[in-house]
């Protein structure tokens, strides 16, 4: 089984389309897929949409936080609920393209344990791109794990990694680093990054600073 874990914060408009794209990829490639949406304290209609998706499709699960605990906590809850041997994580805003999932799985079949996406061409404002580039350079320089895009939420993992790596704070950014330190094989693939269709990014310079701290 393949599990897709998706943290959600005020992305009600995009969830149904994302679910449709994921199930379409699963159908085309014959994946036994489960989809886990983790609502990280949304104040819009995200939870209502998730509830409807769970009623419409038995492959969809919903986990709800009563307040915002952060992306690491949302991912940790999703990993705990996941039943698949492989877990794909992606953002809920439709910028990550589910059609890339077969390429992640091919890289895993090639012997990797953690595959990180690299948004080589990004559709984000400069005030998001510039701090991210600085962050990626520093993480590579300090840890020796030289991925181009540590901040990319589009990743694939062997679920066993999370028996050893515990997520809290901003540690979701460092899972490849922590996994590599424990002997897991880490790599990356270039992924298609799409323009945001709805709302605005929840990401800013303050979160980069928290990542360093």
Supply the DSSP string of 165-189, one letter for each residue: ----TTGGGGHHHHHHHTT--EEEE
Read off the tokens for 42.
């949304």
- The edge-to-edge listing of strands for the beta sheet with 60-65 is 60-65, 33-40, 2-8, 86-89, 155-158, 114-118, 186-190
Separation of alpha carbons 190 and 100, rounded Å: 9
* Contact yes or no for 154/161 (Cβ under 8 A): no
Separation of alpha carbons 157 and 153, rounded Å: 12
**For residue 50, what are the CA distances in angstroms to 34, 86, 107?**
14, 22, 30
pLDDT score for 95: 96
Beta-bridge mates of residue 8: 39
User: Closest by alpha carbon to 5, among 213, 156, 107, 123?
Assistant: 156
pLDDT score for 201: 64
* Contact yes or no for 205/131 (Cβ under 8 A): yes
**Structural domains in the chain plus CATH codes:** 2-212 (3.90.550.10)
Q: Mapping DSSP to helix (H, G, I), strand (E, B) and coil, where does residue 147 land?
A: coil
Separation of alpha carbons 10 and 42, rounded Å: 5
What is the distance, to the nearest Å, from the Cα of residue 176 to the centroid of all Cα atoms in its chain? 13
What is the distance, to the nearest Å, from the Cα of residue 91 to the centroid of all Cα atoms in its chain? 5
pLDDT score for 171: 82
Tell me the pLDDT of the chain (213 aa) as tens digits.
Answer: 999 999 999 999 999 999 999 999 999 999 999 999 999 999 999 999 999 999 999 999 999 999 999 999 999 999 999 999 999 999 999 999 999 999 999 999 999 999 999 998 776 676 777 887 788 778 878 888 889 999 899 999 999 999 999 888 788 889 999 999 999 999 999 999 999 888 776 544 445 445 444
Q: Mapping DSSP to helix (H, G, I), strand (E, B) and coil, where does residue 21 land?
A: helix
Rg, C-alpha atoms of the chain: 16
Separation of alpha carbons 163 and 184, rounded Å: 12
């Amino acid at each position: 089984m393949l599990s897709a874990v998706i943290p959600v914060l005020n992305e009600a408009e995009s969830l149904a389309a994302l679910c449709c794209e994921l199930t379409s990829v699963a159908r085309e490639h014959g994946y036994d897929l489960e989809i886990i949406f983790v609502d990280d304290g949304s104040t819009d209609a995200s939870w209502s949409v998730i509830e409807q998706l769970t009623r419409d499709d038995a492959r969809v699960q919903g986990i709800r936080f009563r307040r915002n605990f952060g992306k690491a906590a949302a991912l940790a809850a999703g990993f705990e609920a996941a039943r698949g041997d492989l877990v794909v994580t992606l953002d809920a805003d439709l910028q990550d393209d589910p059609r890339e999932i077969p390429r992640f799985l091919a890289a895993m079949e090639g012997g990797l344990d953690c595959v990180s996406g690299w948004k080589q061409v990004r559709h984000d404002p400069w005030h998001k791109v510039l701090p991210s580039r600085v962050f990626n350079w520093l993480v590579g320089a300090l840890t020796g794990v030289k991925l181009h895009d540590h901040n990319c939420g589009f990743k694939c993992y062997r679920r066993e990694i999370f028996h050893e790596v515990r997520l809290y704070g901003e540690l979701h950014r460092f899972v490849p680093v922590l996994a590599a330190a424990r002997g897991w094989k880490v790599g990356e693939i270039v992924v298609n990054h799409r323009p945001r269709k709805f709302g605005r990014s929840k990401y800013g310079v303050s979160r980069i600073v928290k990542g360093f701290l």
